[in-house]
Structure 1
Amino acid sequence: MENSIRNLLAGKRGLVVGIANEHSIAYGCARVLRELGAELAVTYLNEKAEKYVRPLAEGLDASLILPMNVEAPGQMQAVFDTLRDTWGTLDFVIHSIAYCPMDDLHGRVVDCSETGFAQAMRVSCYSFIELAHHAEPLMTEGGALVTMSYHGAEKVVENYNIMGPVKAALESVTRYMAHELGSKGIRVHAVSPGPLKTRAASGIAHFDQLIDAAIARAPEHRLVDIRDVGMATAFLVSDASRAITGEVIYVDGGFHIMA
């Protein structure tokens, strides 16, 4: 890391939600944020996930390692109670979670079940609203909220199916929250990475074809990686981006500009 940016986030404290393993986008973000000086709190989904997440969080010198299933009543409130009691204030939140039942993810949008759609929206979109609601009182000096989207929110991507509309809702939420929270100095963004070889992405049907198409069509003819996403996210939570809010930031080697 160049010395000029090594301390970009020194003195900032933030919550990272969504680390599952060392290949996850959330971990790529957390690793860069820590390298640039941020102090981190990290959540894990459940006891099964803890054995994978805790060693990674400890490697990041995370001050807090807490359970949080956004579908479990009271768990998010407990996390923010701990943040308030331990830190008092908060500078950023990284939201990198999404879920859809496999049958609904692999089926047509017109065949999506009501329960599957509701759960996908609950975990992938509404949880970002909830995080913002809880974070707002702790961001007394302003801050940044960043979520993860995908190009399928804007264009039809084969086999992305119901997650396209869900991510479109997430991007719209980003804009509305940026408007509502801007007067408090809280900036809200969505980062839209190109296809990444993560465990979560492997659930998308014919994912290898999506990878091949991204490499072929992107101007840079390469895949991005979790570190690329982490660097963009670090910029968005830093003071260097204080005049930017409500944006969808593509980190995809230019794939989204191609016809």
Structure 2
Amino acid sequence: MIDQDYFSLAGKKGLILGIANEHSIAYGCARAFRTLGADLAVTYLNEKAKPFVEPCAQAVEASLFLPCDVTQEGQLEGVFETIRERWGRIDFAVHSIAFAPREDLQGRLVDSSAHGFGVAVDVSAHSFLRMSRLAEPLMTDGGSLFAMTFYGSERVVKTYNLMGPVKAALESAVRYTADELGPKNIRAFAVSPGPLATRAASGLKDFDELMEEARAKSPLGRLATIDDVGAVTAMLATRTGVMLTGQTIYVDGGYHIKG
């Protein structure tokens, strides 16, 4: 029998990585998780970013507001240490972080530098694995791990370039994480929105054209919003998603089925 608990996150605690401002996918996720009753920890990249993220953290009544630059040694670990000290456990964690040096991102993939490719993989994919490893001992009653991806991981999408193989690595990392942590009732997902006008997307060349193409291809005739993405992500963390793990979940109005 299904009861209201299937759709609730009351009493659950989770981490949101990657809010840059009110237009961020991570912020849409934070709003949805909070709406379902979860208590949140929200991070900001650095002091320059803090004024843009703090109003978002306040809006979702975040209990913890912490700095986290995954390229800085010890910062991600520090976030989880604070969570351990304050909460003692965690139920979900959202990874919505991606970065590549502009010169590598906007050029041809075959021309990308080893350094740029390595930075992109480290920030955009390997940090998900680091997050998962740190969350594992705190997910004492199981939990859910989320990473944000894009259709350019499996099909060539004009202008996506370097991030295509990087997101493919991230999706593969999610599948292996789901397999390795499944025995502890820890589930892992890649969530794949269509193109959204976020700060991260602004670094892609001709991104406006990509958005219009996606809107035209979508069977629903529109692009997802950050709240659409957040609602699906939060749902997966509730009891409604208990038998799902390892999948890439598309929240793109059907854009991905059109090739």
TM-score (normalised: structure 1): 0.97
3-state SS, counterpart of residue 202 of structure 2: helix
Deviation string, structure 1 residues 204-247 (Cα, Å, up to 9, x no partner): 11111111111111100101100000011011111210100000
Distance (whole Å) between structure 1 residues aligned to residue 26 and residue 99 of structure 2:
15
| Aligned-CA RMSD value | 1.1
Counterpart position of 2:258: 258
How many residues are aligned here? 256
The answer (yes or no) to whether the contact 2:80–2:134 under 8 Å persists in 1 is yes
Counterpart position of 2:154: 154
Distance (whole Å) between structure 2 residues aligned to residue 118 and residue 105 of structure 1:
12
Deviation string, structure 1 residues 78-102 (Cα, Å, up to 9, x no partner): 1111000000010000000000000
Counterpart position of 2:143: 143
Counterpart position of 1:83: 83
Counterpart position of 1:36: 36
3-state SS, counterpart of residue 78 of structure 1: helix
Residue identity (%):
57
Which structure has more RCO (C-alpha within 8 Å, separation ≥ 6)?
2
Unpaired runs of 5+ residues, structure 2, are none
1:103 to 2:99 alignment: no
Distance (whole Å) between structure 2 residues aligned to residue 201 and residue 135 of structure 1:
27
The answer (yes or no) to whether the contact 2:194–2:251 under 8 Å persists in 1 is yes
Q: How far off is 1:27 after superposition?
A: 0.3
Distance (whole Å) between structure 1 residues aligned to residue 212 and residue 132 of structure 2:
36
Q: Please, which moves more after superposition, 91-100 or 196-205?
A: 196-205
Distance (whole Å) between structure 2 residues aligned to residue 146 and residue 199 of structure 1:
20
Deviation string, structure 1 residues 175-207 (Cα, Å, up to 9, x no partner): 000000000000000000001011111111111
| Superposed structure 1 runs of 4+ greater than 2 Å apart | 4-7
Equivalence map 1:1-259=2 (5 Å): 8-259=8-259
Distance (whole Å) between structure 1 residues aligned to residue 49 and residue 202 of structure 2:
18
Deviation string, structure 1 residues 17-41 (Cα, Å, up to 9, x no partner): 0000000000010011101100000
Letter in 1 for 2:254: G
Distance (whole Å) between structure 2 residues aligned to residue 125 and residue 65 of structure 1:
23
3-state SS, counterpart of residue 88 of structure 2: coil
TM-score (normalised: structure 2): 0.97
Unpaired runs of 5+ residues, structure 1, are none
Q: How far off is 1:58 after superposition?
A: 1.3
The answer (yes or no) to whether the contact 1:96–1:147 under 8 Å persists in 2 is yes
